[in-house]
Structure 1
């Protein structure tokens, strides 16, 4: 999958399969965001759900910001070298294409994030 519109749709569709227990917080042309469902403190602010992930399309790629890998990096040491190559910084993936293996790994990764949020009582 190399078409950026299809790529974004794939990422959104996979996140939507996890709603609930996650909730869609923003669904706009330039931002798709999901969060947990339990009120919690995010910094000094009380929010209706802790940020989980967002998708931001760019002209040359689709960015996927994934908070569980930022807060629990040790829980994602198993991700493949191909997936790690897409990771820029601590929590932002830049996807230009996704082959079949990366598509499966993406769903496994976000499902693992949901499991972590469940264990912490965030959903």
Structure 2
């Protein structure tokens, strides 16, 4: 069980970075990693260089994973594991305080599902 926010932060960043190609990293700084698509598109009323996908933000006591697909396509994530659901605060923000192998696998699968959904919606490129 990992409880050090710095370690959790690095693991979550690595999970997202595995999807570079369909995703681009907009920001990779100590206090934030932000990932988005690579296809210019409209997001609301604004044209962006890629649809927002996720962010990782370390905090002193936990790491925040903002995961936009769970907001835009909530019906596809209704059956996430109870341990992961427990970390969800609000509609799209997960507060990760402890990370075991099972939760890490659930997050990995959730991110991959989000990429697949956005590829099907043609707001991410397919590999």
TM class by smaller structure: over 0.9
Structure 2 unaligned regions, length at least 5:
none
Hey, what's the Cα distance between the residues in 1 that align with 2:71 and 2:17? Answer: 21
- Equivalents in 2 of 1:98, 1:70: separation in Å? 22
Per the TM alignment, residue 21 of structure 1 is displaced from its structure 2 partner at its CA by 1.3
Matches within 5 A, 1:34-53: 34-53=35-54
Aligned to 1:79: 80
Rounded Cα–Cα distance in structure 2 between residues aligned with 1:39 and 1:80: 33
What is the RMSD computed on CA atoms of the aligned residues?
0.6
Aligned length: 123
Partner of residue 118, structure 1: 119
Q: How far apart in 2 are the matches of 1:58 and 1:5? A: 9
TM-score by length of 2: 0.95
Structure 1 unpaired stretches of 5+: none
For the residue of structure 1 that corresponds to 2:111, the secondary structure is: helix
| Counterparts of 1:98 and 1:71, CA distance in 2 | 25
